[in-house]
Amino acid sequence: MDTGTHVVMGFALGGLATLDPVVAGDHVTASSVLIATIVGSQVPDIDTVLKLRNNAVYIRNHRGITHSIPAVLLWPIVILAIVHSFFPHANVLHLWMWTFLAVALHVFVDIFNAYGTQALRPFSNKWIALGIINTFDPFIFVIHVLGLFLWAGGLNPGYTFITIYAVLVFYYIGRIQAQRKVRALVKNRIPDATQIIISSTLRFHHWKIAAMNESQFFVGRALNDQVQILDHFNRIPVPDTPIIQAAKKDRNLSAFLSFSPVYRWEIDEFDDFYEVRFIDLRYRSNGHYPFVAVVQLDEKLNIITSYTGWIFSEEKLRKKLDILPG
């Protein structure tokens, strides 16, 4: 989820914690739990700072180890130690319990996004990305904000947020059923599909689709139970050529390939260099595919420059690469 939603979820868990008799009966514990749930709801995304280094490091590691099983166990202990140092009389067990719930819930809800997490590390490095809930879901955010206003207005925060989370359980179930219906429609449209990736959008009845069979890629959308195929490409295996082998040594392309499950590739030859481009098919936007990895190599197959990330125009990509082909 986005940062704003994680923040309001942290406050919500602090309010929900008032249903715990130990928390409700001790002002010090209640205050420490509220701080801990807010921090716990944010801390797995501390790896966002990796973007300051470069996109390759960020793409390869964001929502990776910080969202892993060891991290979910470790973060609450770290937060507990810090918060308890400021609130030494807080109940340790209940402070840890609510902190653990905040961290675990953060990772759990991220699984439902299209970006996903490596939540099963160290047992598996596979990205778990269900695509059921958009990274920013207006309904989830607004209902949390509504709960905070009701809390500020004097309503019992515990009962307020347990009601809200009950509503959200049914909301998630509804989203899961809606995605399954879209999957069935896509399967009916492409009976021989070997893989179907469906991602939610800001609109409840609008889904992005990327699918493949043995010979083609299909990119489309579903809107109000109608599936529309917008693009299709021949599925050509990535060749094992010296150019591709050299390009795969680049950190940007390597990061892209570690993250993207469905992509096509292109090789262009210019006067004095080659350009290898890999294009993720999941994020079509206004006829453009913004998530790419591009590597430029000289005639001796040495890497000149490269880039991976979200680019919405060829001009901006050229500026990132800092080389304009003649």
- Residue 23, pLDDT above cutoff 70: yes
The residue that leads in pLDDT, 50 or 81, is: 81
Tell me the pLDDT tens digit for each residue of 189-241: 999 999 999 999 998 899 999 999 999 999 999 998 899 999 999 999 999 99
- Residue 91, pLDDT above cutoff 90: yes
Q: pLDDT-based confidence at 107, cuts 50/70/90?
A: very high
In the chain, the amino acid numbered 291 is: F
Question: What is each CA distance from 134 to 9, 63, 86, 101, 318, in whole angstroms?
Answer: 16, 16, 37, 22, 30
The residue that leads in pLDDT, 287 or 77, is: 77
CA atoms lying within 13 Å on the CB side of residue 102: 38
| Domain extent listing, the chain | 3-174, 242-321
Residue 180 backbone phi and psi in degrees, to 5: -60, -35
The residue that leads in pLDDT, 118 or 145, is: 145
Mean pLDDT of 167-191: 96
Dihedral of the CA atoms 73, 98, 107, 3 (nearest 10)? Answer: -130
Residues near 199 by Cβ (< 8 Å), separated by ≥ 6? 114, 131, 207, 208, 209, 210, 282
Task: Show the tokens assigned to 219.
Answer: 């990119």
- Residue 26, pLDDT above cutoff 90: yes
Q: What is the pLDDT of residue 285?
A: 87
Give the torsion sign (CA, 311, 321, 118, 45).
negative
- Residue 51, pLDDT above cutoff 90: no
Beta carbons within 10 angstroms of residue 204's beta carbon: 16
Tell me the pLDDT tens digit for each residue of 232-285: 999 999 999 999 999 999 999 999 998 899 999 999 998 889 999 999 999 998
Give the torsion sign (CA, 178, 284, 186, 206).
positive
Taking alpha carbons only, the member of 245, 279, 268, 283 closest to residue 326 is 268
Q: What is this structure's pTM?
A: 0.89
